[in-house]
Amino acid sequence: MIELYWKNATSQVIGPDHGITPGELSGLGDRMAAAQRAVDGQVRQGKLGYTTLPARRDYRDGVAALVAKLRPWCGDLVVLGIGGSALGNIALQTALNPITYNLQSDASRGGPRLFVLDNVDPTLLKDTLSLLSRRLNKTVFNVISKSGETAETASQFMIIRELLRDRLGNEFSKHIVATTDAEKGTLNKIARQDGYEMLIVPGDVGGRFSVLSQVGLFSAAMCGIDIDALLAGAAAMADRCTAADWTSNPACMLAAVQFLAYTTKGKPMHVMMPYSNRLYLLADWYRQLWAESLGKAVHRNGQPAFVGPTPIKALGTTDQHSQVQLYREGPNDKLVIFVEVEKHPEEVRIPEVFAEAPGLAYLAKQKMSKLLNAEKIATEYALAKSQRPSVTIRWPAITPENVGAFIYLYEYTTSLMGELLDIDAYDQPAVELGKQATFALMGRQGFEEVAKEMRPFIKPDKKYLL
């Protein structure tokens, strides 16, 4: 099971100016305990749908039945989604399947190639469809949208639906799986009319919390990931997050460290830095979860807040050579969350060559994993020497159980942070204006007034154009 190590964020290591002191931690005790009680109460009242996902056998069984039906003939799976309908799918795939998965033959993979179209870049879409052109009869498109009216996903779906109708005729509908609202919405209606297979976007789970629902489980299971183990790991972490003593609860302690770093130590930047390429895109998933949940303009009582630590992703060791200079000698405004793996999925040993070169001889016969983890500890040490706080989430291995545990840990930590910051961690009102502006620019009926307000932005002032 994954573990949290937080000593290097304390005053004992980096001093009281930038490290959390025992007094600051104990002073947070009542507030932290209240946050824990509030979140636990919301769980018991059924208000936090994401916390039920590890135990939702109906969701799991629905995915398993559909996978059994489609996987025998499916060579390529394309996910159409954006944000919470895509980032989790990508993170699961990169964490738990080989980096070269899509390059392997159909026989050696044992599942379809996976493509996640999470942007409306026309080149991305055209290049992907060109690659799949001769394999459309073996391709499944999973369109994920609760309403069906998300502009990015809807536009992709409209293009692909017509392509399939043109190329495959009456058989087109068996190549589309709609993951959407169970009862209503534009996509639900179209799916029923056209006769698509359907999965559910839970009504009580926000998109950025939905990776352990059918939103994320379907593509994972299609590509051979053990979703039972994934859910079991999440369930085990859920049990750990109910520990009555908040100081022994990993979610409470992670929330406490990140909250104190943000509010009392001047650390508004929270960098997640996995030392594993496989886990790098979990940092992308974390960025949406943290930013969209915690970046809020008002407190629950309507008073101004303008809160939210900024999530940043980095990759060890790559970004030791691109960002750590800034992290050590730039503004001391960052908390680094290292993600460390004890046993990597693969191992490579450095050959015993260049014995006559003192600058290389020490590497001979060493494991690459030892070098990678040494680089992490070295960076951790270097940051501490510069009084820069860090915590480490330690993974014994990259397994479905540990991925599930990590996901649940950060989702629950996000709920606790929402309580500590006294904001609604489950809405995203600032996203809506951008959606409305897009509708206006694309000529959607009912958004004419927004289009009028946007005129200065539609036509740039040439005085400021160089």
Residue (of 101, 97, 194) closest to 143 by Cα position: 194
- Name the burial class of residue 224, with classes exposed (0-12), middle (13-18) and buried (19+) by CB atoms within 10 angstroms of its CB: middle
Element (H, E) at 313: strand 310-313
pLDDT tens-digit profile of 263-281?
A: 999 999 999 999 999 999 9
CATH code of 50-228, in short, is 3.40.50.10490
pLDDT reported for residue 465: 86
Q: What CA–CA distance (Å, rounded) separates 272 from 378?
A: 16
Name the token pair of 387: 């009084």
CA atoms within 13 A on the CB side of 382: 13
So what's the pLDDT on residue 435? 85
Instruction: Map out the domains of the chain as residue ranges.
Output: 3-42+231-421, 50-228
Residue-level pLDDT at 55: 97
Residue 59 is predicted with a pLDDT of 98
Q: Indicate if 435 belongs to the active site.
A: yes
The pLDDT of residue 207 is: 94
Residue-level length of the chain: 466
In the prediction, which pLDDT does 466 show?
Answer: 87
The helix/strand/coil state of 198 is: strand
Q: Out of 138, 299, 313, 435, pick the active-site residue.
A: 435
DSSP bridge partners of 3: 394
Q: Please list the pLDDT of the chain residue by residue as tens digits (466 residues).
A: 999 999 999 999 999 999 999 999 999 999 999 999 999 999 999 999 999 999 999 999 999 999 999 999 999 999 999 999 999 999 999 999 999 999 999 889 989 999 999 999 999 999 999 999 999 999 999 999 999 888 999 999 999 999 999 999 999 999 999 999 999 999 999 999 999 999 999 999 999 999 999 999 999 999 999 999 999 999 999 999 998 899 999 999 999 999 999 999 999 999 999 999 999 999 999 999 999 999 999 999 999 999 999 999 999 999 999 999 999 999 999 999 999 999 999 999 999 999 899 899 999 999 999 999 999 999 999 999 999 999 999 999 999 999 999 999 999 999 999 999 999 999 998 888 888 888 888 889 999 888 888 888 888 888 888 8
Give residues with Cβ within 8 angstroms of 399, minimum separation 6.
Answer: 96, 229, 233
CATH class of 3-42+231-421: alpha beta
Residue 371: exposure state from Cβ atoms within 10 A (0-12, 13-18, ≥19): middle
Catalytic residue among 183, 321, 356, 463: 321
Neighbours of 275 (CB within 10 A): 25
Joined together, the tokens standing for residue 407 give 């996901």
d(CA 298, CA 295): 9
The question of whether 321 is a catalytic residue gets the answer: yes
Residue 460 is predicted with a pLDDT of: 81
CA distance 349 to 146: 48
Structure token digits, residue 282 = 């979990």
Residue among 152, 197, 292, 411 flagged as catalytic: 292
What does the pLDDT look like over 123-141, one tens digit per residue?
999 999 999 999 999 999 9
